[in-house]
Amino acid sequence: MRCHNAGNPDRSRGDFWEMGRSLLLGIVLFCHFVLPAALASQSPTGGPLLVDVKCSKCHTLKRVFITPRPVEEWRDVVEEMMDKNPAWISPEEAQQIVNDIINTWPERVQAITSERKSYEDARFLFVDRCTLCHSINRILLKDKTPEEWKETVERMRSDAGGYITEEDSERIARFLSERVDVLKEDAGGNIFVVKCLICHPGEQILMETHDKAGWEEIVKKMQNIARDTFPMARFGNEEAALVVDLLVKTQGPKTHTGSP
């Protein structure tokens, strides 16, 4: 059987060089992004860094590394964590954790920002950027004006280094202002806050998009569960219908851009 390119040596040679360029590019990207991050997460002895072992028990490592701080401030933060649980972090370990953070911070931040994704849907952008440090419920239950949301998100952007862009902050502030207004003004908003957020993290709900029939099925299922197992969250058919209308308005098929 003859090779497909046997009669065309120039094409074979071109394919070979194209494959070589692709391989070289892959090696360069690996060495520039992946390898430094991998080495940064190891101690000189080859094991995991102490900051990874100790701090990841309470926080995501993204949250630990995303905020730029001077050395003294890092030391204060780690000492505060040590004071909360002296049996978990000793003074010697606290100093090593500070050293780990300082020595690996640039590589960690580069790795975090290189993983950042863009989202057309403002809901997903909000969940991705803000759950780095906060629960969605904590944010959605705040009552702020558009200007206050803008100031809050801008402050978070300054704390998050390069992970939240200026465009991100504008879209998130606009989404929060519109979304919270809906929760306050819509008849189903208060029911949603009192009955739905009592059991579910907001990010779990925000990640879903359904038509009216889909939301009706989900809300009916939750209604039955609450009736049987959780009296505090029980709600009737009229309340369920209002919640469904709210979810269709904010998370129906035609709201894929996340507004409101």
- Inter-CA distances, 207 with 78, 94, 123, 247, Å: 34, 37, 7, 12
CA atoms within 13 Å, Cβ hemisphere of 29: 7
Along the 260 residues of the chain, how does pLDDT read in single tens digits?
A: 444 555 555 555 556 556 555 555 555 444 444 444 444 444 445 568 898 888 888 877 878 888 888 999 999 999 999 998 888 999 999 999 999 999 998 888 888 777 788 888 898 999 888 887 888 888 887 889 999 999 999 999 988 877 899 999 999 999 999 988 888 888 888 888 888 888 888 888 888 999 999 999 999 999 999 888 888 888 999 999 999 999 999 898 875 554 44
pLDDT single digits (tens) 164-216:
999 999 999 999 999 888 888 888 888 888 888 888 888 888 889 999 999 99
* pTM of the model as a whole: 0.59
What secondary structure letter does DSSP report for 42? B
